[in-house]
Amino acid sequence: MFRPNFILLALGWALLQQVHLANAWPTPHQLSQWLPHFKSQRPQTQPDFARRNFETMSRIYNLTVYPNQLPILGGGGAAAPPGLFTQDVRGRVTPVGDFEDFEHSIEYFFSLSPVPQGNAVKGAITGYRIVEFSSQCPEIAASVVYLYCSVVDPGSPDHGRPLPALKQVAFWRFDSQGTVAYYDAWIPNLHSWVELTNGGVPVSDPQFQASSITQICTLTQLRCHGENRQWDSIEQCIADLSQKPYGNYDEAWGDNIACRSIHLVLTQVRPDVHCPHVGPTGGGKCVNAPYAERYFSDESLFGSPSGETFVCK
Ligand SMILES: *[C@@H]1O[C@H](CO)[C@@H](O)[C@H](O)[C@H]1NC(C)=O
């Protein structure tokens, strides 16, 4: 499992120069394959919105590739390049949650991208490819991206060994500048991916669960001080969390350990905001929201009825 350990973040910076990034930018030939209508309709006057939207998508996913996410991990939304998300962007990333502002969107898209120093296999996203893409009007696009993972451990024979890839399926709505205003994204099979990157150890393994709880408690005590403090002691935290269900990574939103293990990453970025999410109450994020609220809250999330947000008018 990708276990973040930002104490070692500085080491990550030292490794930057040595990391080989897969080139993710498609050739013009690939682009024409992925945009079948780009050429086939009105070739002389084809608007370039599809290409513009593709580029926004591409720039977003490029920032999940290690080490491109590190400035955002350190500096939050202020370190994000302009033009990707609007200031009041909102969206959903199933199975993690709803994100109701710019800072949350930035954090959940980029700060959760694994750093090699933070997990047992030294894995990170090292390349991406937008494998499916469609944009039939300037406001809307749909995409599927493969996020390729591999071992980042320069000097070791393991360096570059491919790890299981992640997939993200997403619908996007843009403002008039081609900046993302709303998104509805889904990472399928996250649970299997966690198990595979953890060497095939099932999440149900009691030792895995115990060490995950210990890690959450150790790092929470380390990062959440003063008003952000969640537990009296690591022992208290372990005792409390051991009473909660572990949960599963395909439905991580809940009052469980899987949810807290994801939100734990962000306690490093903004402890005041994220410490409560890993604490006893779940801080409104790791809580047992009803099914309909977790997956069908389009109206409150996007401000328009279901079926209105991601369609060309
Ligand atoms: C991806 O990020 C790298 C590093 O910042 C940059 O050199 C490259 O141009 C970017 N590619 C795209 C398609 O944005």
Task: Tell me the pLDDT tens digit for each residue of 195-234.
Answer: 998 888 999 999 999 999 999 999 999 999 999 999 999 9
- Are the CB atoms for 294 and 253 separated by under 8 Å? yes
pLDDT single digits (tens) 94-130:
999 999 999 999 998 898 899 998 888 899 999 999 9
Question: What is the pLDDT at residue 108?
Answer: 85
Amino acid occupying residue 228: N
Measure CA 131 to chain center.
18
Question: What is the pLDDT at residue 313?
Answer: 87
Domain 7-199 -> CATH class: alpha beta
Distance CA 9, CA 20 (A): 18
Look at ligand 1, atom 13, and give the residue with the nearest C-alpha.
Answer: 25
User: DSSP for 111-146?
Assistant: ITS--GGGSTT-EEEEEEEEEEEEEEETTEEEEEEE
Question: What is the pLDDT at residue 47?
Answer: 57
- Residue numbers in the chain where pLDDT is lower than 50: 1-46
List 143's β-bridge partners, or say none.
133, 170
Question: What is the pLDDT at residue 120?
Answer: 83
Distance CA 138, CA 175 (A): 9
CA separation, residue 60 to residues 32, 310, 312 (Å): 21, 19, 22
Where exactly does CATH 3.10.450.50 map onto the chain? 7-199
Quote the DSSP letter at residue 171.
E
Question: What is the pLDDT at residue 293?
Answer: 87
Element (H, E) at 50: helix 49-62
- Are the CB atoms for 107 and 77 separated by under 8 Å? yes
Burial of 235 (0-12, 13-18, 19+ CB in 10 A): exposed
Question: What is the pLDDT at residue 31?
Answer: 40
Question: What is the pLDDT at residue 35?
Answer: 36
Distance CA 198, CA 73 (A): 23
- Taking the centre of ligand 1 as the mean of its atom positions, its distance from the CA of residue 217, in whole angstroms, is 36
Look at ligand 1, atom 12, and give the residue with the nearest C-alpha.
Answer: 59
Residues with CB under 6 A from ligand 1: 25, 58-59, 62, 68
Question: What is the pLDDT at residue 21?
Answer: 30
Q: What is the pTM of this model?
A: 0.83
The closest-lying atom of ligand 1 relative to the alpha carbon of residue 62 is 1
Quote the DSSP letter at residue 20.
P
Quote the DSSP letter at residue 266.
G
